[in-house]
Structure 1
Amino acid sequence: MSMNSIIEIITYFSAFLMATGVITFCGSRLSKYGDIIAEKLGLSRTWIGVILLATVTSLPELITGISSVTYADVPDIALGDILGSCVFNLLILAFLDMQFRGSPVTSLAHHGHILSASLGILLFIITALSLFLKDKIFPLGWIGPYTLIFILTYFIGVKMIYIYEKRQFARYIKEKAIELKYEEISTKKAIIHYAINGFFVIITAIFLPIIGEGLAEATGLGQSFIGTIFIAMTTSLPEVVVTLSAAKIGAIDLAIGNLFGSNLFNIFILGIDDILYVKGPLLYYVNENHIISALSASAMTSVAIMGLIYRAEKKNFFIAWDSLIIIMFYLINMMLLYTLR
């Protein structure tokens, strides 16, 4: 490796550390004010995590996707970032579990997450099937029919989650009233602080794909592998910070809702990327290896659902059985992508 390459890597890595610092600081405050907004507006932490936090923390994937399918013309990076971020978000769930002693994190979470997680599995399977069939599916102009399914499923899913969570909130309104923690903070102040911190997270996160692509070029690895592993990890940094910060203040449902909600929004972004990729249906022009990530995300989400339903009372070690299986699937996904790169 030449000296210029080493200097380039150091430069990009320094920029990455700076971006990490900003996102860590503002992301922790974003979690706090998201929790306050949930309390003030009478909304569940699950719904706030699925919609409000997930939309903000998934914007780096949106920016990366748009740039990848327009002027950069690297559709594999776009899809790799989307599916890689979904897989990495589920890995974050396992890391989140390690933060709690005694009970698994899935046993502390609300059952409502099963709804958003199930919708995620549906979208992952449709993605994998579309990748397998490719040009055997009749396109709608320059877009694939799967794009309409992605967009409709996302909006219908958001509505379903909202109705379900509202119903649950009304059922337990007395208990919720007792749990109020932020009576001294006004709704206006919470929204303003949320917007300010969200703005800095978004602006900083926009540069993460550029940093990730710069480091990717310096390493010389393939687009599918880099897009799914490294760039996905950098664009998922907001999810990491916001999720762990939410858990730290005791907002478990906010944290888990952010992860499952980000996965739903990521597949919605894939639909947007397909619309902007005017050469034709996006999934016609990408490597079939991405099927591995789509199926891995489905399997990992299925394991998370099992944990949410089974609700184990304690861990055998420092990590719950479902989190351990999730980590195993993630490692298998990485090894297969590296082998087939």
Structure 2
Amino acid sequence: MNNIYFNIFGFTLCAAIIIFSGSKLSTYGDKIAEITGLGKAWLGLILMASVTSLPELITGISAVSIINAPDLAAGDIFGSCMFNLLILSVLDARIKKPLFSLVKSSHILVVIFGIILLTIVGIAIHLTNKIPSILWMSSFTFLIFAIYIVSVWGIFKYEQADLMKSGETNNAYTTYDKVELKKVIGNYALHALIVICAAIFLPYFGENIASATGLGNSFFATLFIAAATSLPELVVSIAALRMGSLDMAVGNLLGSNIFNMFILGIDDLFYREGSIFSAISPTHLLSVLVVIIMSAVVALGLLFRPEKKQLWVFSLDTFIIIVLYVFVMIYLLLN
């Protein structure tokens, strides 16, 4: 009994550290973008997304290479994707007008790339025993890497063109800014190291709790570990909402889902027992399918841009996201 309390304490402590330092990472990342002149849209879509997804990256590598628990890594990735989309519902509940009527419809581009990557991952899981491997990795892993690079390039070019159309320009930073930049990068590196250390131990405590409670790695990782590693996204998104930067918040969440698929490929690289897609439970296919449906709902919301909320504090699209999230968690718990 004492052991379970120790693991719960360790898991909670790691989660708290990730929340604190993860939010600091985002703050310093925003400062770096401000000093160097990077566009806010690019910041949310790519830079901020990769920063706030650092816990998922380190947790996944730790899960597959140290404790040999690929289901924890996969559950964390897919659960994080669902949790990121759930945060959209949280943001929607905190404003008067529907969320997707207040942000740029160009976010659909990010959603499309996310759906493409998720579909490839789903195919890789389903056909894992029928597709050739390259070294110990699935050949689909290299396809994931290639599409991720294309998506980053495509989103960057699209955002740069959008900035030029709107007349926004990036100014060169001064000597004073260069001195400030060195200080900010130092603080960024410090908190990145703290997040790495906390994320390394998170799957260890998570696996022990899952074993002791009988919840199972797939459910525990998809719900609790994913929520813990996605808390930086939640903190950053709420902060962005308070600053009136809804596009940055939405871009961060949707961009994080794209980066999560890239992380899954990295997990396959570090999992030396064979392809990670052959080692994880087929149960995760449901999570992949639901994330695709949730993403499609987001795309529809961005396309139709409803002007009024239909269900209490939620618009119909964000309410559907909540229903899908609850459905998956109940299914994983019962199976």
- Which TM-score bucket, shorter chain as reference? 0.7 to 0.9
| TM-score, structure 2 as length reference | 0.87
- How many Å separate the matches in 2 of 1:281 and 1:27? 30
In 2 relative to 1, CA 298–314 (structure 1 residues): closer, same or farther, beyond 3 Å?
same
Cα deviation for residue 189 of structure 1 reads 5.7
Alignment of 1:67 with 2:62, yes or no, is: yes
CA-to-aligned-CA distance 1:91-118 (integer Å, 9 cap, x gap): 1111121121x21222222223211111
Alignment of 1:88 with 2:83, yes or no, is: yes
CA-to-aligned-CA distance 1:164-195 (integer Å, 9 cap, x gap): 11111111125999xxxxx9x96566555555
Q: Which residue of 2 aligns with 1:310?
A: 304
- How many Å separate the matches in 2 of 1:162 and 1:86? 21
Alignment of 1:336 with 2:328, yes or no, is: no
CA-to-aligned-CA distance 1:140-169 (integer Å, 9 cap, x gap): 232111101111111111111111111111
How much is the aligned-residue C-alpha RMSD, in angstroms? 2.6
- What are the equivalent positions in structure 2 for 1:194-273 lying under 5 Å apart? 194-273=188-267
Cα deviation for residue 227 of structure 1 reads 2.1
- How many Å separate the matches in 2 of 1:91 and 1:284? 28
Q: Which residue of 2 aligns with 1:180?
A: none
Indicate the larger mover: 191-200 or 238-247.
Answer: 191-200
Cα deviation for residue 260 of structure 1 reads 1.3
- How many Å separate the matches in 2 of 1:280 and 1:32? 38
In 2 relative to 1, CA 18–257 (structure 1 residues): closer, same or farther, beyond 3 Å?
same
Cα deviation for residue 236 of structure 1 reads 1.5
- How many Å separate the matches in 2 of 1:26 and 1:72? 24
Cα deviation for residue 18 of structure 1 reads 4.4
In 2 relative to 1, CA 197–244 (structure 1 residues): closer, same or farther, beyond 3 Å?
farther
SS in 1 for 2:128: helix
- How many Å separate the matches in 1 of 2:19 and 2:74? 26
Q: Which residue of 1 aligns with 2:48?
A: 53
Cα deviation for residue 287 of structure 1 reads 1.4
Given that residues 31 and 246 in structure 1 are in contact (C-alpha distance below 8 angstroms), is that contact kept between their aligned partners in structure 2? no
Given that residues 28 and 241 in structure 1 are in contact (C-alpha distance below 8 angstroms), is that contact kept between their aligned partners in structure 2? yes
Q: Which residue of 2 aligns with 1:322?
A: 317
- How many Å separate the matches in 2 of 1:84 and 1:169? 33
Given that residues 48 and 254 in structure 1 are in contact (C-alpha distance below 8 angstroms), is that contact kept between their aligned partners in structure 2? yes
Q: Which residue of 1 aligns with 2:120?
A: 126
Given that residues 59 and 203 in structure 2 are in contact (C-alpha distance below 8 angstroms), is that contact kept between their aligned partners in structure 1? yes
Name stretches of at least 5 consecutive residues in structure 2 with no aligned partner.
Answer: 172-176
- What are the equivalent positions in structure 2 for 1:145-224 lying under 5 Å apart? 145-173=139-167, 191=185, 194-224=188-218
Matched letter for residue 233 of structure 1: A
Given that residues 116 and 260 in structure 1 are in contact (C-alpha distance below 8 angstroms), is that contact kept between their aligned partners in structure 2? yes
| TM-score, structure 1 as length reference | 0.86
Given candidates 269, 273, 277, the residue that maps to 2:271 is 277
Q: Which residue of 2 aligns with 1:139?
A: 133
SS in 1 for 2:137: coil
Name stretches of at least 5 consecutive residues in structure 1 with no aligned partner.
Answer: 178-182
Given that residues 58 and 266 in structure 1 are in contact (C-alpha distance below 8 angstroms), is that contact kept between their aligned partners in structure 2? yes
Given that residues 58 and 199 in structure 2 are in contact (C-alpha distance below 8 angstroms), is that contact kept between their aligned partners in structure 1? no
In 2 relative to 1, CA 17–337 (structure 1 residues): closer, same or farther, beyond 3 Å?
closer
* Number of matched pairs: 328
Indicate the larger mover: 57-66 or 193-202.
Answer: 193-202
- How many Å separate the matches in 1 of 2:329 and 2:81? 13
Cα deviation for residue 204 of structure 1 reads 3.9
Q: Which residue of 2 aligns with 1:294?
A: 288
Indicate the larger mover: 260-269 or 132-141.
Answer: 132-141
Cα deviation for residue 234 of structure 1 reads 1.6
- How many Å separate the matches in 2 of 1:71 and 1:10? 22
Given that residues 60 and 209 in structure 1 are in contact (C-alpha distance below 8 angstroms), is that contact kept between their aligned partners in structure 2? no
Cα deviation for residue 36 of structure 1 reads 4.2
